[in-house]
Amino acid sequence: MKKVYIKNFGCQMNESDSEVMAGLLAAAGYAPTDREDAADVIILNTCSVRLSAENKAIGKMRELGKLKAKRPELILGFCGCMAQKHQEALFKTLPFLDFVCGTQQIRRIPELIEQARKNREYLIDVSVMDEYPVDQSVAVREGMLKAWVPIMRGCDNYCSYCVVPYVRGREVSRPLKDIVSEVRRLADGGCKEVTLLGQNVNSYGKGLGDTKATFPRLLEHLNDIAGIERIRFVTSHPKDISAELIAQFGQLPKLCEYLHFPIQAGSDRILSLMNRKYTAGHYLDIVAKLRDRCPGIALSTDIIVGYPTETEDDFQKTVEVMRLIAYDSAYIFKYSTREGTAAAGRTDDVPLKVKEERNQALLALQEKISAEKNQALVGSQVEILVEGASKRNPARMTGRTRQNKIAVLEDAAALAGKSIVKEVRRATAVTLYC
Ligand code: SAH
Ligand code: SF4
Ligand code: F3S
C-alpha cells in the first residue's frame, strides 16, 4: 500500500482540511504515515496568515526537495492557503514540486497525484467555487474523543490586515442537516466534544435560504445529540455576536464556559483602521454581559501589536483592556504585511524592535494574569474530560476542563475518555494539577 504524509501548518480549519485530505487519500488506497522517508507522497497544507508561517512552509518544502533529488519518484504537493495565494509562482520558487492545489479543490488531490505519477508536468488547480467546496463527511480523524467540525468556510469580513478572505474565498455555510448528521455519527463513534469551526460563526446560515439555520439554533440542535458532552466553537467576531448567543452561555448545558473572542487591539483608532467595526467600549460591554450571564466563563483573545501607525499611546490602550478584561489566555502576534490586503497600502512603520518589545510586554502581562486566574481555581472542583497520557510524563494523564484549561492528573489511567470531577491542587499559568 502506498503511503502519504500530510504535514499541517496554520489554523484549525487547515487541520480539518488535512483530515478531509487523509480521508480522500485513504479511499484512494493510501495509508497515512508521519515518516517522510517512508512516504510515497508528501503534502504540505500551508498557511499565509503571517510571513513567518509562509517562510516555514517554503523552508520545509526546500528540505523535501533534497529528499526528492535522491528519490525522484517521491511526489510533492503544495496545498492550503499559500497555494491559493501564490498559485503558479510556487513552481518558480520550488521547481521540483509536482502539484499545487488550492483551498477549494481538495477533492481533486487524489486525481492530481495520479496525474503526477504519469507525467512530470506542473499540475495546478486553484479554481474557486460558489457552493460549499468539500465533502466534510469523508474526514478521517486521529482520535475519536474530540472532533473539529467545520460549519462554514471562507470569510467576508475583510479586516484590513488579514489575508484569509483572499485565500479562503467568500463565506459559505454548510447545510444545518449535514452538520447535525455528522455530529450524530461522531457521537455514535464515541466522540464527546465537538469544536465548531468558522471564521465568523455569528454569520452562520447566511445564504442557506433557511431562516431556521442560525448559529444559536444550530447549537440547540447539537445540544440535543446524545453522547455529545461538550460543544465549543471558534471564532466569534465581536461586531456581530448576538444577544441570543450571549444568553446561551450558562443556559445550554453542553455549551462550554469558554469563548475565544479576539479583540485585536485596545485603541479605537487602530480598531477602526483594522476595519473591525466595534470600539473597545462596545467590546467591554459584551464581556460584561457574558460574565453577567455566565460568571465562570473563560475568555481568550488574539492581539496584533505594531499595526501600521500604532503609537505608544495606542499600545497602552491595548495593555489597559488586557488588564481590565483579564483574559484566561491570549495569542499575541506581531503585525505582518500581507500583500493584497487594505493595510498593505500603508507603510509598515512600527520598527520590528518595537513590535518585539510590545509583544514581550503583553506576553509577560498575560502570563501574570493567567497564573492569577488559575491560582484562584485552587481548591475548587473542575470537570475534566480525560484524554490520555501526558506527553511530558506518561505516568500522568491529561485532559481539559470545560473552561478549556489543561489539567494534569495522577492515577487516572483507567479514566481515558471519561469526564471526571476533581479538585484543583495547584496551578501554573498554563496547567491545573488535579
Ligand atoms: N477569523 C478569526 C481569525 C483568523 S486569523 C477572527 O476573526 O478572529 C487568526 C489571527 O491571526 C487573527 O485573529 C489575528 O490576530 C492574526 N492575524 C491575522 N492577520 C495577521 C497579520 N497580517 N499579522 C499579524 N497577525 C495577524
Ligand atoms: Fe481575517 Fe477578519 Fe475574517 Fe477573521 S474575521 S478571518 S481576522 S478577515
Ligand atoms: Fe488558517 Fe492560515 Fe489559512 S490561519 S485560514 S491556515 S491563512
Could you tell me the distance, in angstroms and rounded to a whole number, from the CA of residue 335 to the centre of ligand 1?
9
Q: What is the pLDDT of residues 68-120, one digit of tens each?
A: 999 999 999 999 999 999 999 999 999 999 999 999 999 999 999 999 999 87
Does residue 334 sit in the same domain as residue 406?
no
Amino acid at 272: S
Q: Nearest ligand to the C-alpha of residue 338?
A: 1
Does residue 390 sit in the same domain as residue 308?
no
Q: Ligand 1 within 6 A of 302 CB?
A: yes
User: Atom 2 in ligand 3: which residue has the minimum CA distance?
Assistant: 47
Q: What is the pLDDT of residues 277-322, one digit of tens each?
A: 999 999 999 999 999 999 999 999 999 999 999 999 999 999 999 9
Atom of ligand 3 lying closest to residue 10 CA: 6
Please tell me the total count of domains within the chain. 3
CB-CB neighbours of 181 under 10 Å:
13
Does residue 337 sit in the same domain as residue 403?
no
Q: Nearest ligand to the C-alpha of residue 302?
A: 1
User: What pLDDT, on a 0 to 100 scale, did the predictor assign at position 228?
Assistant: 98
Alpha helices in 103-202 (DSSP H): 109-118, 164-168, 176-188
Does residue 274 sit in the same domain as residue 359?
yes
User: Considering the domain boundaries, does residue 280 fall inside one?
Assistant: yes
Q: Ligand 3, residues 6, 49, 339: which to mutate, most atoms within 8 A of Cβ?
A: 49
User: What pLDDT, on a 0 to 100 scale, did the predictor assign at position 281?
Assistant: 98
Residue holding cell 487541520? 15
Q: Ligand 2 within 6 A of 159 CB?
A: yes
107-137: buried (b, 16+ CB within 10 Å) or exposed (e) per residue?
A: bbbbbbbeebeeeeeebbbbeeeeebbbebe
Q: What is the CATH classification number for the domain harbouring 339?
A: 3.30.750.200
Does residue 311 sit in the same domain as residue 407?
no
User: Atom 4 in ligand 3: which residue has the minimum CA distance?
Assistant: 11
What pTM was computed for the model?
Answer: 0.97
Could you tell me the distance, in angstroms and rounded to a whole number, from the CA of residue 264 to the centre of ligand 1?
8
Q: How confident is the model at residue 394 (pLDDT cuts 50, 70, 90)?
A: confident
Q: Is 388 left (phi over 0), alpha (psi -120 to 50) or beta?
A: left
User: Considering the domain boundaries, does residue 145 fall inside one?
Assistant: no
Q: 414: domain range?
A: 381-433
Cell of 186: 461522531
Does residue 9 sit in the same domain as residue 112?
yes
User: Considering the domain boundaries, does residue 159 fall inside one?
Assistant: no
Atom of ligand 2 lying closest to residue 237 CA: 5
**What is the distance in angstroms between the CA of the first residue and the CA of the last residue of the chain?**
44
User: What pLDDT, on a 0 to 100 scale, did the predictor assign at position 124?
Assistant: 95
Q: Nearest ligand to the C-alpha of residue 10?
A: 3
Of the candidates 116, 103, 82, 89, the residue with the CA atom closest to the CA atom of residue 150:
103
User: Atom 2 in ligand 2: which residue has the minimum CA distance?
Assistant: 159
